[in-house]
Structure 1
């Protein structure tokens, strides 16, 4: 980790931003790097930084990659205690015919009418991409697949998926069943960070079921020794070959989504190449130590006129390996900030970029101390100062 001394140019300005919705606007494709994928995104979830993107917001047919949303709903139900891993769901005729043996699609061949453990169903979906397993889970949790799909759409909106709409639980062809690769990356980040107790299902290489079937993980990169521990493959004629990958090396994790590739070999080689590029081309730099003040933000109606801003622990940036350490930065918040303020309240965002990269780091900043409300007279003085000089003092 490089020290803050390497940041030779650091300009911190308090900037009023009435509409921060554009903070994650489209980023430029790094010069000199291209991909065969029709749609792609590579992100570092820890730094909340997109390293590369290509048509990342276009709605695509996600195929089985949308099963990640199905599993997210199941994981949420497990974490909430509404279901348990050793509970069982019965295989309905609809699940058996639509996604099981008669369907001719990826299945775990759950017998019609049998009770199946949720733990087995999860392995069937994560390892084998079982369409019958997805429907069985959906019906077991919500009563009908239709009701479960509503849960998927509601949960997707809750976690910030903006280009996704789900029609079924398994990703089989259906009009209006769409996602974007950016949404798939956001969903994958959510799975990694919110459900660490269930995330290892995605790294499981094999699943032996009923002593009759041994299913091998369809994600080829799980078998490669490159740090990949998830997440999901997808293929339909309409969308080509796709893959959502998550890889960790040391303290750094990358999430990659590609789709629209021509065959399995191209999907594997292109995903491997993009992950290697990401790990080699970007490295973390230390900007501020834990507890170190980044700047101050103006306070209205407080016992103090400014509140110190700090990060949540150490503040690290992800910059190109060729970076000189020269960065530009700005602090963005809607101000002035009204007292009272509690230590730990999120106040602002630190936006940092390097001359060598079009990518931008966006880091939350928090109040470093409590600021109590002032008396009526002091609030009146603050109001006069704002009217006279504006709030950027």
Structure 2
């Protein structure tokens, strides 16, 4: 039995599925149906390497501390592995509909928090693999690496050790005035990381509840996106976000809404903390948008708040309300949430089947649209989760996002 980390406990206790969900859904397109015995074996191996996949969450009798991961004495791997066949014609629309319905079904909180489904009935003898996992258990990308051949991924070390945090605490007690000044600087950094949230939310996305998910996908060649980014000194992530913003701009123009910027959240600077900023919509030139996004992400990536927040979360929970409130603003609701995972440059296999595409569908953390791009074997696979209570025409929105990518790639 192990104790949840502060971050895991936050994801577990703050979830209100599906409105404030912590469920990630990984969708793989396979070139064929994998061998049943090998498919079972890779999951057997993965659950041995990641013990939490065989554990359930146990709350303390007195809720004053974090929950614990307790090994499920009745763990049954067969319960977590499902197999279905899509109805004809079994193409991408039918697959995405099945995936979004499966993702919206809540987990049984008395069992380990994951499910895997092998989907058959796709054209040309292909298959799909659907992995649904709660983020308190693990990131879906980590689980995918466990399912692949090769050594298991190594955990990332904490940027600040317990000894460093203890030293900081001792220094604060010895020099309270200096500590107060440093705290104010940290608050200012948090405000910059959570803002410039000067953009008003889109009137097209108001009244959303997050209770209805719509899955859609896009793709493009990684080399084309790299070329577009390099033309203005940016990176792939900048070009990706600029393409999303171009699509958002087109969508608002179609609906007669003139919007200069849109509140956007994304992981910044390699940190696991999310920053929220006013992303430019008014810039019609895609190269100008890439450059603008690049400048914003560079400035936010060096904010001290993004460096220390994951490490000092337990401390922040005991600080004055002003600091805690500033911390909460970093997770402020945005209209668009965007993330990018570099992925593998090489083709991979799952139980012998070739993985052709990888789509990672994120939840809706208060956003109207969540987009996640995974670069896999030279292809950028973009998974888009749309709040159906806010976007009445998701196909029109995805068409606009497609045009946004074409606009960026044409330069």
TM-score grouping bracket, smaller chain normalisation? under 0.3
Larger % of strand: which? 1
Bigger RCO of structures 1 and 2 (CA < 8 A, at least 6 apart): 2
TM-score, scaled to structure 2? 0.21
Larger % of helix: which? 2
TM-score, scaled to structure 1? 0.22
